[in-house]
Each structure stands twice: as C-alpha cells, then as structure tokens.
Amino acid sequence: MSADANDEAELVALVVRAQRRDRSAEAVLFERFAGKLVGMLERLLGSVADAEDALQDTFVIALSQLGRLRDPAAVASWLTGIAVHQAQRRFRRRRLLRVLGLDRRIRDAGLAELAAPTTPPEVRETLHRLDGLLARLAPSLRVAWMLRNVEGESLTEIARACRCSLATVKRRIATADARLRKQLNIGDEP
C-alpha cells in the first residue's frame, strides 16, 4: 500500500471517529485542516480577524454536520466548501455594512500584506494593485478567480466549493481574468 493510500485510510478512520463524536478525533481533524483553511480565508477576506471568525464558524458547522458527510475521504473539499461559503457570507455582510456606512473592518491581510519578507518590491507592488482590483470585483467573481489563481484549486474543486456548475466557474474566472489581465501581468495557467 502506497503512502498516499495510507494517508487516505488514516484520514477516513479519523473522520469516522469524529463522526462518532470522538472529541480527540475532532481535535486532530481541526489541527490537520485549520492551518490550510485559515490561510485561504485570510487571503479571501483580507482580514485576520474575519478569517479566524470564519474558521470558527466553519468548524462549528462542520463538526455538527459531519454525520452527513457520506464520503469521509472527501472531507478536505467538504471543509473548503463550508469555509468558502462562510467567506461569501462575510462578503455579503460587508456590502450591507458598507451601504449603511458601518464597515469598520481592518484590512490587515491583503495579498501585499501577506507577501513574504523576501518578496521583491515590484511583486509586492503588483500584489497591492491586484488587491485593489480584486476589491472591485463582485464577490462571486473574486472568490472563483482567487480559488483558481491564488489557491491553485482545480476547476472541479472550485465548482464544489462554490456550489455551482463547472461552466459557471469557468465563466466567472474568465470574466474576472478579462478584467484583471488588462492591468496586470499574471502567468498563464500551467
């Protein structure tokens, strides 16, 4: 049995234990996925506080609905879907708060802010511009584009996470791409 197969078997066993309300299994599940999810949420939301808040909601929902997960091996994409949904909820809330003039959010995790210390200044400048352009996109376009270009997720995974069809994902990414590429140089898809 390969290492990947061993990992998957171990993950399935872990999820099954968590489904049986094993608290230690739940904690291990959190340790295993929280880092990846909070990183994605930071990049999507541009705010550490919002990301931690969304991560908390994600795991509260996930652990309470874990029994409904039919394929334990798909727990990673299932968690990603919940997290993306939480991010989209926050985008909608922000839009309402902005209309009411009550948006007091601190943007401390934009792509430029998250850049590693060794990042060249010109890349940092590009990330800064990208932040500004992404902020002007509709949330559905922004999320699809970021999951594809920032997170490197597959189209199928994005469709699952966004709870929409593959065609819709492609259209959203293409639309966002068209608007962004005019002003930025972003490497082509591999």
Partner 1 sequence: MTLQRPIKNILRRRTDQAGLSAVWKQVQERRHPRRRFRGFALAAGVSLSVAAGLFVWLRHAHSLDHAGPLRVVDGQPLQSLEAGHDPRTVELSDGSQIILSPGARLEAVDNAARIFQTTLVRGRAEFEVRPGGPREWLVHAGPATVEVVGTHFIVTRESGSVSIQVTRGEVLVRGKEEQGARRLAAGESFRMNDSSSTEANAEATVAPSRTGSDEKSLGGVYSDATVPNQVGMKRIAGADPHLPDVVKRRLRGRPDTNFVARICIDKGGTVVDVAVLQGIDGADKSLVAALRQWRYEPQPIPLCFVTQLVFSIE
Q: Is 104 exposed, middle or buried (0-12, 13-18, 19+ CB in 10 A)?
A: exposed
Judged by CB under 8 A, the chain residues 82 through 141 that form the site for partner 1 are: 108-109, 111, 113-116, 119, 122-123, 125-127, 130
For residue 95, the one-letter residue type is: R
Q: For residues 110 and 132, what is the distance between their CA atoms, to the nearest angstrom?
A: 9
Specify whether the CB–CB gap between 76 and 14 falls below 8 A: no
Nearest distance, CB of residue 127 and partner 1, angstroms: 7
CB of 1 to partner 1, least distance (A): 30
Interaction with partner 1 in 160-179: which residues (CB under 8 A)? none
**Cβ(15)–Cβ(29) below 8 Å:** yes
Q: Which is nearer to partner 1, 88 or 145 (CB)?
A: 145
Contact between residue 41 and residue 87 where contact means Cβ atoms under 8 Å apart: yes
38 lies in the site for partner 1, by CB under 8 A: yes
Q: Give me the residues that bind partner 1 (CB under 8 A), please.
A: 27, 30, 34-35, 38-40, 42-43, 48, 51-52, 55-56, 59-60, 63-64, 108-109, 111, 113-116, 119, 122-123, 125-127, 130, 149-152, 184-187, 189-190
